Amino acid sequence: MATATAHNAAGAQVTNHARARAGLPPVQANPQLARVAAQHACDMALRGRMTHLGSTTTGPSMRLKQSGYQPSIAAENIAAGPFSLTRVLSEWSTSPGHLDNILLPQVRDFGVGQALAEDGRTVYWAAVYAAPR
């Protein structure tokens, strides 16, 4: 499912709140990263498996490069469950490993995506944090 511009902007806003508390520069909502995130969320939902490994990719850097974005750094947060955007962003902001990705100082761009699994209840989420070369 494609990420609505408003959802991507809301995700960047929450991300920037955490980054500001840490004294870091803000990220910008990037539609290309949102597409990459949404495609990975769809891939996870189709396979019914939460993983950073894609069905044809090894991680977020590879997915970004395939989309034409040349990252100098890339990180990804993923989740699966009955989570809304607000809840998944909150969960990532309070989880040490996920927060580490949010607070990478070099990151400049952000994108989030979601996909609903076949069961109609489980939402797969991916957020991509990156900076271009």
Q: What is the mean pLDDT of the chain?
A: 96
CA angle 96, 9, 30 (to 5 degrees): 85
Indicate whether 2 pLDDT > 80: no
Residue-level pLDDT at 97: 95
Indicate whether 85 pLDDT > 80: yes
Q: Where are the beta strands (DSSP E) in 22-82?
A: 28-29, 71-81
Task: Give the tokens for residue 120.
Answer: 């109609």
Residue-level pLDDT at 92: 96
Residue-level pLDDT at 4: 86
Indicate whether 5 pLDDT > 80: yes
Task: Quick: pLDDT tens for 27-36.
Answer: 999 999 999 9
CA angle 129, 107, 95 (to 5 degrees): 55
